[in-house]
Every structure is written in structure tokens, then in C-alpha cells.
């Protein structure tokens, strides 16, 4: 079991990582967060796989519990689903002293976190992520959101949790596609700030190909998840509100969010879109003379075997530009594009024009049809 502390002004919290963390760490977090009630927000898949597991873990804490079950999938990360959560909180007679437990993947963490940020002007939030992607991405850092039809995560708020419990045993029921989606976020953190983490992941293809915990127990996963979360925690501690350096965590999101919006939410998992976006960002960085050819080759060798090829409906420059500007990172008419100078070292390229990215996008399509292709 490992614990990582995130230290922010007025909002420090622990991240507990390990097999069995739910039973050993969740009760204490809930007891610190509330003496009233704990409302569990989860989705239909997790509720079916793990019925009553949170309630059982909290049996001795002696707080009221209630559950709100929402549909499973990115396409349900909407204001309508958010209203369902608010209805459940009202029915449970929750208040600002109650705790909300987000129990599920990234969609649950994002939308439940947004509910916790806004219900009664804020209530304690505890993240219990059940997918690899959620463990290394959305559960850490305090960003919460729902989607708009024209932009992913366009409506949101910052809400730091009171704590995060990452029980590795939940990874044992992940489909292989979901596991691969999470691997892209793990690799991303190595690429932007921890070269040794990237090297270890690139060298562990045999472990990555199997079910988590099946070879050598949980030690490998506990280690790489801890290191990945440490990268994100360090960046968030430097820039909680994404005014500067935290933007490097958006490496790949320029194209990744465009893919998710243009193909329809849920067609590709977030991690799959991140994988394609990483390759485009590395390609662009090399085209601008920032990333050496050898580094680009290493990134492609690590990522391409894990990829689900992306197929998108045709789009023209006007649609491409509109989607970029609906994303949450534009400044005036240009973008802050996150680039690589080397594996483990990312930077910010301000003033990047959408027209410049459109030209590079056309070159990328021609260079990497095995990664991304527009339908005829």
C-alpha cells in the first residue's frame, strides 16, 4: 500500500494506492469527511459488478448511506444526468455536511465531482476510481465537468477531493480495451515529465499484455500508478488552476478532444483518443524542430502496438477550427499547444494558429493512416 499526499493551499488530501485499499482506507476518509450521510454515485456496470461493496466497507462508520446509479458511458456525461444526481441527493436529504463518494470510472468521477462542487454550494467528495484511466487521470487534480454537444468537458468546476482510494483489485474486472485506454494516460505522464517511467512502461510489454495482477502480483501496477499520480500531483501543486504549467497535462488533448467530439462521445474511449492525440502532438513537435527523430521513433514504437485505429467522418478546415476553439484551452484566436522537446520534457507553444495545426493534421493523416483515417 502506498500513500501520496497532494498539498494545496487549504485543500491537502491523500491518495491511497494498493490492493485492498477500499476496506482499509475508505472508512477513515468517510469518518473524517462526514458524521451525517454518504451518498454513493456509481454507474450501472459497477453497481452490477460490485453490489453493496461501499456500504459493506462503511458498516462500522455509522453514517447513513444512499446510492444514485447513472447510465454507463461518456454519452451520458450530460446536464440531464447531472440533474439525476441532484435529484438523488435531494431524496437522500443530503446537505453540505454529507459526503459524496464517486465510485466508478472517469465519467462517474467527473460528473459526481461536479455535483459535489455545486450541490448546496459544495460538499465533501471522495473519489473511488475503478478503472486504470480514472486512477491515473480524472480522480486526481480536482477538475470536474460534463460535456456539451460541441465540446468535451465544456461545463465544469474545480473541486478537490477529501481523498482518493485506488483499490487495484478493481482492475481485475477491466476489459482489455479499458485497460489499454488507461495505459495511454500512464505513458503520457512518463512522456511529459518522467522519462524513467516511460522507459519502464515501454520495457514491460509482457506485463502490460496480461491481466493486472496475473504476473507478479500487484507490485508493478502499484509502482507505476503511484509514479504516474506523483507526476500529476506535482504539476497540480505547482499550478492548481491551470494558469501556466498545469497546461502540460493537456498534452494530446487538442486532437484527443476533437476526436471524441467529432466521432460522438463514447465511440472511442478517452484513452484511445489520447493515444492518437499523443502521436499527433509528437509528430507536430518533430515537424517544428523540437523533438528529435529518435525520440519520435521511440514514442511511436511504444504507442502504436496498443492503439485502436481511429476512423472519423470527413471534416474540413472550418469544422476543425470550430472544434479546436470549443475546447477549453484556446486563448483569443490561437491555442496553447503542448509540445515535446524530449521524452520527459514537455513545454507550451503559445500562439499556435488553428490553420497551422490544420496543415500539420493533413500531413499526419498522410503519414499515419494506421493511427487516424478519415472515412471516404
Out of 230, 246, 286, 336, pick the active-site residue. Answer: 246
- Angstrom distances, CA of residue 162 to CA of 8, 13, 35, 90, 189: 12, 6, 14, 21, 23
Active site residue 253: yes
Out of 242, 260, 272, 295, pick the active-site residue. Answer: 242
Active site residue 232: yes
Out of 77, 180, 188, 232, pick the active-site residue. Answer: 232
Active site residue 226: no
Active site residue 189: no
**DSSP class of residue 217?**
B
Rounded CA separation 235/346 (Å): 12
Out of 25, 143, 180, 193, pick the active-site residue. Answer: 143
Active site residue 329: no
- Angstrom distances, CA of residue 120 to CA of 86, 100, 114, 125, 248: 10, 12, 12, 13, 33
Active site residue 25: no
Instruction: Find how far residue 305's CA is from the centre of its chain.
Output: 21
Closest CA to 275 of 340, 206, 185: 185
For 34-58, letters b (16+ CB in 10 Å) and e give: beebbbbbbbebbbeebeebbeebb
Active site residue 178: no
N- to C-terminal Cα separation, the chain: 50
Rounded CA separation 16/21 (Å): 7
- Residue 275, C-alpha cell as written in the block: 493515444
For residue 22, count other CB atoms closer than 10 A to its CB.
Answer: 24
Active site residue 48: no
Out of 189, 193, 230, 253, pick the active-site residue. Answer: 253
Active site residue 143: yes
Using CB atoms within 10 A of its CB, is residue 63 exposed (0-12), middle (13-18) or buried (19+)?
A: middle
Out of 74, 180, 250, 336, pick the active-site residue. Answer: 250
DSSP of 127-194: EEE-SHHHHHTTTSS-EEEEEETTEEEEEEEE---SEEEEEGGGGGG--HHHHHHHHHHHHHHHHHH-
Active site residue 56: no
Residue written as grid cell 459526503:
99
Do 237 and 8 meet the contact criterion of CB atoms below 8 Å apart? yes
Task: State the catalytic residues.
Answer: 121, 143, 185, 232, 242, 246, 250, 253, 257, 270
Amino acid at each position: 500500500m502506498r500513500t501520496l499526499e497532494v498539498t494545496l493551499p487549504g485543500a491537502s488530501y491523500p491518495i491511497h494506492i494498493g490492493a485492498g485499499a477500499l476496506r482499509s482506507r475508505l472508512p477513515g476518509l468517510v469518518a473524517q469527511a462526514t458524521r451525517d450521510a454518504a451518498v454513493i454515485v456509481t454507474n450501472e456496470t459497477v453497481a452490477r459488478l460490485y453490489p453493496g461493496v461501499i456500504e459493506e466497507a462503511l458498516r462500522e462508520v455509522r453514517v447513513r448511506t444512499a446510492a444514485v446509479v447513472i447510465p454507463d458511458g461518456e454519452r451520458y456525461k450530460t446536464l440531464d444526468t447531472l440533474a439525476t444526481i441532484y435529484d438523488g441527493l435531494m431524496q437522500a436529504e443530503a446537505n453540505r455536511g454529507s459526503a459524496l463518494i464517486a465510485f466508478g470510472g472517469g465519467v462517474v468521477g467527473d460528473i459526481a465531482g461536479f455535483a459535489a462542487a455545486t450541490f448546496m454550494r459544495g460538499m465533501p467528495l471522495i473519489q473511488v476510481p475503478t478503472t486504470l484511466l480514472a486512477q491515473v487521470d480524472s480522480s486526481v487534480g480536482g477538475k470536474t465537468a460534463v460535456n456539451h454537444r460541441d465540446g468535451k468537458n465544456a461545463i465544469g468546476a474545480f473541486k478537490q477531493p477529501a481523498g482518493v482510494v485506488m483499490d487495484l483489485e478493481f482492475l481485475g474486472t477491466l476489459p482489455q480495451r479499458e485497460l489499454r485506454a488507461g495505459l495511454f494516460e500512464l505513458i503520457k505522464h512518463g512522456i511529459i515529465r518522467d522519462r524513467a517511467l516511460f522507459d519502464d512502461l515501454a520495457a514491460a510489454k509482457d506485463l502490460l499484455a496480461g491481466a493486472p495482477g496475473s504476473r507478479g502480483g500487484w507490485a508493478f501496477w502499484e509502482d507505476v500508478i503511484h509514479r504516474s499520480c506523483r507526476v500529476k500531483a506535482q504539476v497540480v501543486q505547482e499550478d492548481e488552476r491551470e494558469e501556466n504549467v498545469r497546461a502540460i497535462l493537456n498534452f494530446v488533448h487538442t486532437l484527443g478532444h476533437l476526436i471524441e467530439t467529432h466521432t460522438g462521445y463514447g465511440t472511442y474511449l478517452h484513452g484511445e483518443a489520447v493515444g492518437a492525440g499523443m502521436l499527433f502532438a509528437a509528430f507536430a513537435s518533430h515537424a517544428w524542430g523540437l523533438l528529435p527523430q529518435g525520440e519520435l521513433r521511440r514514442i511511436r514504437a511504444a504507442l502504436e502496438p496498443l492503439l485502436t485505429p481511429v476512423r472519423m467522418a470527413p471534416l474540413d478546415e472550418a469544422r476543425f477550427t470550430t472544434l479546436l476553439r470549443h475546447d477549453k484551452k484556446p486563448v483569443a484566436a490561437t491555442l496553447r499547444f503542448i509540445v515535446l522537446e524530449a521524452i520527459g520534457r514537455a513545454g507550451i507553444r503559445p500562439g499556435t494558429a488553428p490553420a497551422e495545426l490544420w496543415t500539420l493534421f493533413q500531413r499526419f493523416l498522410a503519414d499515419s493512416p494506421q493511427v487516424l483515417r478519415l472515412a471516404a
